[in-house]
C-alpha cells in the first residue's frame, strides 16, 4: 500500500482526527514511502511545500516529537485543513526529506538524519596492480575496529602474497605472515619466472551470504544497504557462520566469544567517511564503492576496467570487486 492510499484511508476513517493517531499512521506511511523514495523526489520536494506552513515548525526536540508536526500537544484535535496540510507534507516530502526539512528550516541541515540505508548499496573495488603489500590497511583496520593484535587468526582484512610459477596456476605459494600486519619479508629463493602479486582480502559483503543463511538466531544479516553485519548481543558463538563463509572472513573474538568480521566500517560509511583501510591505503588500491550512487567516481573505474569477484561459481553475490585478479587466487 502506498502512502497516498494510506493517508486517504486515514482521512476517510474519521472526519476529526486526533493528532496522535494521525501522526502515527502518517509516520508509518512516511516510513514506508521513505523506503521506496528515489533521491530525485527528495531533491525537488522542498520547493513543492506550501509556503504558509513555514512559520509553525520548531526544531524537533526529540525523536518522539519529530514527525508529529506542528506545536499542538498530543491528543489535541486538529481540523481538516491542518490534517490535509500535514498529509500533503508527508506525501510530497516523503519520509526522510520530511524529517530533514525540519532541520533545514532550523538552519542546521547538517544535523538531519539524512542517511537512508536503501539509497546505498556498498561494495569495494580492489586494484591488485596497485597493491604493494605494505600492510597499512591491516594495521588501520585493527586500530579502527579494536581487533586483537596479539591473538592469532583475528583479521577483518588481511593481505595475501601469491607466487605463481609459469604454467602452474593451480599450485600457487600463498603466504600472509600475521595477515601482513608487519608487511612481508623478502622472498628467500624466488623461482625462475615466478609471478608475485598481493591480494588484499576482506569480507565480500555478499548479497546472498552463506554465513547469513546458516545463522540460527538471526545474529548476522545483510543490512538494507548491502553490508553484512553482526549483532553481538544476539550471537551465541556457535561458529556455524565461520564454517559457512567460503572466503574465511570470520573469526571468533577471543574476548567476547562472539563472531566478528569486517563491517565495511559501517560506523564510518554511514557518516559519509570512507573505510579505515581505504583511508590508510597509500596507493589507492582499495576504494569504497556505492553501487547505487552513479555520481560515485568509482563507477567510472567499474565501467572502464575488467573486474572480477572471488569464487563467482558459488553465486554468493560478492561485492568485493577485484581488478587484475589472477586465476590462481582462491
Which of 5, 18, 85, 99 has its CA nearest to residue 50? 85
Question: What are the Cα distances from residue 34, in Å, to 10, 68, 276?
Answer: 18, 16, 30
Question: What are the Cα distances from residue 83, in Å, to 33, 66, 86, 328?
Answer: 18, 16, 5, 64
Which of the 8 DSSP states describes residue 185? P
For residues 227, 231, 232 and 238, what is the CA-based torsion angle, rounded to 10 degrees? -90
Position 271 contacts another protein (CB under 8 A): yes
Are 181 and 135 in contact, with CB atoms under 8 Å apart?
yes
Among 100, 140, 206, 211, binds another protein (CB under 8 A): 140
Burial 111-123 (b: 16+ CB within 10 A, else e): ebeeebebbbbbb
Which residue reads 582480502 in cell numbers?
201
| DSSP string covering 39-59 | HHHHHHTGGGS-GGGGGG---
Stretch that binds another protein, among 73-81, 83-91, 194-202, 249-257 (CB under 8 A): 194-202
Position 229 contacts another protein (CB under 8 A): yes
Distance between CA atoms of residues 317 and 157, nearest Å? 19
Stretch that binds another protein, among 3-11, 203-211, 270-278, 288-296 (CB under 8 A): 270-278
Stretch that binds another protein, among 52-60, 86-94, 264-272, 310-318 (CB under 8 A): 264-272
> Residue 32: which region, alpha, beta or left (left: phi > 0; alpha: psi -120 to 50)?
alpha
Could you tell me the smallest distance in angstroms from the CB atom of residue 270 to another protein? 5
Position 220 contacts another protein (CB under 8 A): yes
Among 183, 210, 237, 248, binds another protein (CB under 8 A): 183
Position 279 contacts another protein (CB under 8 A): yes
Position 184 contacts another protein (CB under 8 A): yes
Position 94 contacts another protein (CB under 8 A): no
Which of 36, 8, 35 has its CA nearest to residue 22? 8
Nearer to another protein (CB atom), residue 92 or residue 132: 132
Query: Within its chain, how far is the Cα of 140 from the centroid?
Result: 19
**x-marked contacts with another protein along 95-134 as a string, rule CB under 8 A:** ----------------------x-----------xx-xxx
Position 255 contacts another protein (CB under 8 A): no
Among 105, 196, 238, 309, binds another protein (CB under 8 A): 196
**x-marked contacts with another protein along 68-87 as a string, rule CB under 8 A:** --------------------
Stretch that binds another protein, among 43-51, 90-98, 219-227, 295-303 (CB under 8 A): 219-227
Residues near another protein, by CB under 8 A: 117, 129-130, 132-136, 140, 143-145, 161, 163, 183-184, 186-187, 190, 194, 196-198, 218-224, 229-234, 263, 266-268, 270-271, 273-274, 276, 279-284
Amino acid at each position: 500500500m502506498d502512502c497516498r492510499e494510506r493517508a486517504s484511508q486515514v482521512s476517510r476513517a474519521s472526519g476529526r482526527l486526533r493528532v496522535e493517531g494521525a501522526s502515527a499512521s502518517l509516520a508509518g506511511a512516511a516510513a514506508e514511502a521513505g523506503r521506496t523514495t528515489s533521491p530525485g523526489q527528495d531533491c525537488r520536494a522542498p520547493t513543492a511545500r506550501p509556503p504558509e506552513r513555514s512559520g509553525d515548525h520548531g526544531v524537533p526536540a526529540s525523536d518522539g516529537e519529530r514527525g508529529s508536526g506542528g506545536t499542538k500537544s498530543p491528543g489535541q484535535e486538529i481540523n481538516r485543513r491542518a490534517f490535509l496540510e500535514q498529509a500533503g507534507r508527508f506525501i510530497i516530502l516523503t519520509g526522510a526529506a520530511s524529517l530533514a526539512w525540519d532541520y533545514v528550516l532550523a538552519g542546521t541541515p547538517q544535523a538531519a538524519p539524512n542517511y537512508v540505508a536503501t539509497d546505498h548499496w556498498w561494495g569495494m573495488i580492489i586494484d591488485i596492480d596497485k597493491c604493494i603489500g605494505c600492510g597499512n590497511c591491516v594495521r588501520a583496520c585493527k586500530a579502527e575496529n579494536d581487533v586483537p593484535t596479539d591473538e592469532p587468526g583475528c583479521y577483518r582484512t588481511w593481505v595475501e602474497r601469491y607466487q605463481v610459477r609459469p604454467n602452474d596456476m593451480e599450485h600457487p605459494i600463498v603466504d600472509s605472515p600475521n595477515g601482513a600486519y608487519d608487511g612481508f619479508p623478502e622472498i628467500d629463493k624466488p623461482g625462475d619466472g615466478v609471478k608475485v602479486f598481493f591480494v588484499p582480502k576482506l569480507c565480500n559483503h555478499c548479497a546472498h551470504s552463506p554465513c547469513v543463511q546458516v545463522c540460527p538466531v538471526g545474529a548476522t544479516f545483510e543490512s538494507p544497504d548491502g553490508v553484512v553485519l553482526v549483532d553481538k548481543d544476539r550471537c551465541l558463538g556457535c561458529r556455524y557462520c565461520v564454517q559457512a563463509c567460503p572466503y574465511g572472513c570470520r573469526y571468533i573474538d577471543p574476548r567476547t566469544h562472539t563472531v566478528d568480521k569486517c563491517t565495511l566500517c559501517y560506523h564510518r560509511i554511514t557518516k559519509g567517511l570512507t573505510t579505515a583501510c581505504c583511508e590508510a591505503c597509500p596507493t589507492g588500491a582499495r576504494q569504497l564503492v556505492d553501487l547505487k550512487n552513479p555520481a560515485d567516481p568509482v563507477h567510472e573505474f567499474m565501467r572502464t576496467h575488467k573486474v572480477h569477484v572471488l569464487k563467482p561459481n558459488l553465486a554468493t553475490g560478492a561485492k568485493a570487486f577485484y581488478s587484475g585478479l589472477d586465476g590462481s587466487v582462491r
